[in-house]
Chain A
Amino acid sequence: MAPSDGFDMLVVVGNPPRRKPLTTGGTAFLLFASAVTALAWQTPSQTQQPASASASPLASTTPTGQSTAPIQAGPPPSAQTQQGALNIVVLDPAHGGIDLGSRGTGGIQESDIALEFAVEVRRALEQQGFQVVQTRQGNDNPSFDDRSAIANAQRGAVFITLHIASTGLPGTVRVYVNSDLPPITTANGLIPWDRAQAPFLGLSRKFGDLVQGMLTQRFKGSPDTAQTATIRQLRTTAAPAIAVEVSSVVVNDRADLDHMAPGVADAIMRGAVAFKPLYVMASTGGALP
């Protein structure tokens, strides 16, 4: 009755037209508060899963403190078990805006080509039922952290950043995963933002090798396995994350690069499809690389 008393008071002071909106607003607020409370109760039960699975290879590889980090770096791999398998691919066409990336002869710009490749990759992935989220749709340049934040907000996602090199054998494609990051957890068990990739490196390596294998079948001269590099974009991404770099902007004709796009898209799609069951296996304590 207290709330209605409050509304009565408003009526007394001569504000009858506001009565209905206030009542509606109050009800909406109560519903919202209930929803938030329900979510708050639900979250601990999800994050307790990794701890209960501490006997699994995953838990022994990934410290429990990191596995339970739910805030800064998104859910760890083991939490994906409860969310279902891999279903979202975050595509990151690198550079954009005033950052053109590498530039080749004839006005070829990495930022443009990466976006075009992203369109092809997106199409291929969506045909296989993946939900695709892009870090940029047009000629803008989100920060590294903004791009990572898009991936870190997803559950059951992988992250692929697309690049066009200015060196390398033209017509080849390389996949990179981040270099080893020393796992560090804070006192409250959260993963530091700047090391968000650390618990996912094993899965990233597995994903990278699969995609690289598919690419090498199509683009001869590409490496057999994923390479390692200290890539800024990958470090803050809390998901299996790879960088795909196509060689190169230094081609005589832009059409050479355009012709590569469908093949790259198909190889990435096949890699994601092949990775999908492994992602679940790792989540349930199966084979973690």
Chain B
Amino acid sequence: MTEPTKEPVRERWKFWLTTLLVFAVVGAAIFVPIFGKRMKRAARLQQQSEEQARRELIQPVPMNPSDPRVKANLFWLSDAENSVLAPVVVELPLSSDPVLRSKQVLNTLLAGPVDAGLRTLPPDAVLLAFYILPDGTAIADFSEALATSIPSGIASEQLAVDSMARTLEANVPQVKRLKILIHGQEVETLAGHVDLTGTFVVHADAVPTPANAASTPADGKTGALIAPPSPLTQDRRTVKLAQR
């Protein structure tokens, strides 16, 4: 007696279940692509905003065309194999403010010369912050790429530091010493060799402070990595820089 009553109930359930399934499939077919697109767009927006924030954070100090154009000496390698620095004269509109001026010359140094083989700093390194203490000690904070992308070795690391110190010495007289940070932190070495725990003397009249001493030559020998500027290089090697 119960059989006839159960059959219609089962049929009804089957009907509703099938209907629900069809709706679910149709709904999924419509909404899943839309949802996916929205997710992708949200991710893209988030990525863009992160990149934007990063770009704003690390944006190089813009050159102000109204600033007087001066001949800046930038120190890159003289040739790819000789491990010697040589000054290259570049005409730049440089600010008179020592912090801005330092940022401008260091960013130009990071941008590198036309011949990429002569660069001393890795192309993906970024100057994150720069300021000068009242005693003339400049603090330069670089992104981790300075430490991770630089060719490891005593010569290459010392040349990187020397190129920064010599460039600041030539263009920003207010900077007496240079302290290098990596991503806001003091690190023991640049890439396993050169000591970053102290400051590097930028101007020879500066009194050396903390742990390590000058990379600045006190005599001919101590500056063996740095070629003395010659009229030939200063006069003839005015170059157009690669723009970042």
Name A's B-contacting residues (CB within 8 A): 94-95, 99, 101-103, 110, 144, 163-169, 174, 176, 179-182, 194-195, 205, 223, 225-233, 235, 243, 245, 247-248
The contact string, 1 if C-beta is below 8 Å from chain A, for chain B 151-170, is 11111111001000000000
What's the count of A-B pairs with C-beta under 8 Å?
A: 108
Contact B222 A167 (CB under 8 A): no
Which 4 residue pairs of A and B lie closest in terms of their CB atoms, listed nearest first?
Answer: A165-B153, A102-B152, A232-B195, A229-B158
Contact B213 A182 (CB under 8 A): yes
| Set of chain A residues within 8 Å of B224, measured between Cβ atoms | 223, 225, 227-228
Contact B188 A230 (CB under 8 A): no
| Set of chain A residues within 8 Å of B153, measured between Cβ atoms | 102, 163-168, 245, 248
| Set of chain A residues within 8 Å of B158, measured between Cβ atoms | 229-230
Contact A165 B154 (CB under 8 A): yes
Number of B positions contacting A (CB below 8 A): 34
| Set of chain B residues within 8 Å of A194, measured between Cβ atoms | 197, 211
Contact B82 A169 (CB under 8 A): yes
Known: A180-B222, A235-B195. A230 touches B215 (CB 8 A): yes
| Set of chain A residues within 8 Å of B214, measured between Cβ atoms | 179-180
CA A137 – CA B25 in complex, angstroms? 67
CA A110 – CA B198 in complex, angstroms? 26
CA A182 – CA B207 in complex, angstroms? 9
Q: Within the complex, what minimum Cβ distance (angstroms) separates A41 from chain B?
A: 36
Q: Which residue of B lies closest to A228 (CB)?
A: B222
Q: Within the complex, what minimum Cβ distance (angstroms) separates A164 from chain B?
A: 8
Known: A165-B154, A166-B156, A167-B156. A179 touches B192 (CB 8 A): no
For residue B76, CB closer than 8 A to chain A, the reply is no
For residue B52, CB closer than 8 A to chain A, the reply is no
| Set of chain B residues within 8 Å of A181, measured between Cβ atoms | 212-213
Contact B194 A182 (CB under 8 A): no
| Set of chain B residues within 8 Å of A179, measured between Cβ atoms | 212-215, 222
CA A166 – CA B222 in complex, angstroms? 22
| Set of chain B residues within 8 Å of A101, measured between Cβ atoms | 152, 192
